[in-house]
A and B are shown apart, each in its own frame.
Chain A
Amino acid sequence: MGAQLRIYRRRIRSVRATAKITRAMELIAASRIVKAQQRVAASTPYAQAITRAVSAVASLSDIDHPLLTERPDPTRAAVLLVTSDRGLAGAYSANVLREGDALTEHLRERGMDVVHYLVGRKGLAYYRFRDRPIAASWLGFSENPGYLQAKEIADTLINAFQTPAEDGGVDEIHVVYTRFVSMLTQTPEARRILPLEVEETTEEPVGGAFPQYEFEPNAAGVLDALLPRYVEARIYNALLQGAASELAARRRACKAATDNAEELIKTYTRLANAARQAEITQEISEIVGGADALVAAGSE
């Protein structure tokens, strides 16, 4: 077998092995998206109910809660970036990091120092490589986040928020995550989570008519207990949306990789066939040439 042909065959084998891996990853991601979407859906009733409760307390009482008040002169801001733990997900993490850089730039223009909190190994690697300081990072659950992890992150952030800026605390907290719009569209989004801008859900009663609630033990006590839960629910939602988006991005990236690999295999197969045919043609012409030479030698 000729050298050229051998090289083509080796290439085909290697590309085929890669295609097998990417095909498997594509299928795994596709099957997990459904589950991730279900988890987003399953967490919605809680998020809606807690949003309703916070809006009710905030609109019925005029309590100044530290988590609701804007600081007059913010000097430090925290940014939480939700990235993936593993690669092969196209531009998923890169998009979040780019959005995070834009937000950081914007906050710096407003005269704030920015501290970064990271979820996911990809984000951590990006920051480590560039030698940027990180306040804290959480790894190992980007595909499958649980409520406990969201709680841990929320606790850290609320703690930082309640520390005065001079002692290393922050005045604002933002989160950058990827919103899962559909299987084909996922958009990176930056949101401020503290101080809270209480978001209205779509299923609000018309005119915002909350009944005159009685509070137990009292309005301040209820708000005290509600607000941290609300922040946790928001972070949990960001993590779940990120997980669904990551899987969708991975499925698409791996599908593209598999398609490209198949295209490559086709090209190399054609080249290998041509090389084999060329070899045969050459052999035939050598034999014919040899026979002609023998005949010519014999007739002399």
Chain B
Amino acid sequence: MPLQVDLVSAERRLWSGAADFVVARTLDGELGILPGHVPLLGVLAEGFTVKITGRDAGTGIVAAVHGGFLSVANDEVTILTEVAELSGEIDVARARAALDRATAEGDEQAAARSRARLAAAGQPV
């Protein structure tokens, strides 16, 4: 049985479908979810990516998430995030400029966000 995955941001539902595997990072560390996972409610770490693979997701959907929650129950995975961007929607040049600016200003939070964006877009950081 596949996982039913919903990737939801405050403003809209970003992605929804069946998948085989979800990788996310909670405050306790990286976490892989396969069908049959125990029910879990976790706080996502800020500035990392979520990767969904298999079935509807194909070779992989990657999104940069900036804080949020992960809930797993009965093979339903819901990723709740205030702000999330799918890899295809990320403007690499802008993210890089934002990272440079944030690093120069010493804004750790903004830098982490930009790094997550670049990682989601498959760019070296």
Binds A, one of B39-47, B52-60, B96-104, B105-113: B39-47
A45 touches B8 (CB 8 A): yes
| Size of interface on B: residues with Cβ below 8 Å to A | 27
Which residues in chain A, 7-44, are within 8 Å of chain B measured between CB atoms? Answer: 39, 42-43
Determine whether the beta carbon of A217 is less than 8 Å from that of B28.
yes
CB contact list, B1-15 vs A, under 8 A: 6, 8-13
* Contact residues in A for B68 (Cβ distance below 8 Å): 229
Contact with B along A57-74 (1 / 0, CB 8 A): 100000000000000000
B78 contacts across to A, CB distance below 8 A: 49
Q: Is A129 an interface residue (CB 8 A)?
A: no
> Which A residues are in CB contact (< 8 Å) with B87?
none
- Chain A interface SS verdict (over half): helix
CB distance from A232 to the nearest CB of B (A): 7
Are B40 and A49 in contact, CB atoms less than 8 angstroms apart? no
Among candidates A52, A210, A216, residue contacting B40 with C-beta atoms closer than 8 Å:
A216
B41 interface neighbour in A57, A150, A233, Cβ under 8 Å:
A57
Q: Is A212 an interface residue (CB 8 A)?
A: yes
Minimum Cβ distance to chain B for residue A141 (Å):
14
Instruction: Please tell me which one of the listed residues A42, A211, A221, A233 contacts residue B13 in the complex, with CB atoms under 8 A apart.
Output: A42
Closest residue of chain A to B26 (Cβ to Cβ) is A216
| Chain B residue contacts of A126, Cβ below 8 A | none
- Bound CA span A215–B83, Å: 22
Name which residue of chain A comes closest to B7, CB basis. A45
Partner of A214, one of B13, B41, B43: B41
Asked if A222 and B42 sit within 8 Å, CB to CB, the answer is yes
Query: Which residues of chain B are near A226, meaning CB under 8 Å?
Result: 69
Task: Give chain B residues whose Cβ lies under 8 Å from the Cβ of A39.
Answer: 11
Binary interface profile of A, 97-136, with partner B (CB < 8 Å = 1, else 0)?
Answer: 0000000000000000000000000000000000000000
Residue count of chain A within 8 Å CB distance of chain B: 31
Instruction: Looking at the assembled complex, report how far the CB atom of A183 sits from the nearest CB atom of chain B, in whole angstroms.
Output: 22
| B13 contacts A53, C-beta separation under 8 Å | no
| A57 CA / B78 CA spacing, docked (Å) | 15
- Shortest beta-carbon distance, B6 to chain A, in Å? 7
For residue A295, CB closer than 8 A to chain B, the reply is: no
Contacts A46-B80, A49-B71 given: A214-B38 contact, CB under 8 Å?
A: yes
Residues of B within 8 A of A180 (CB): none
A236 at interface by CB-CB < 8 Å: yes
User: Within the complex, which residue of B28, B38, B69 is in contact with A53, where a contact is CB–CB below 8 Å?
Assistant: B69
B contacts, CB < 8 Å to A: 6, 8-13, 26-28, 31, 38-43, 67-69, 71, 73-74, 78, 80, 82-83
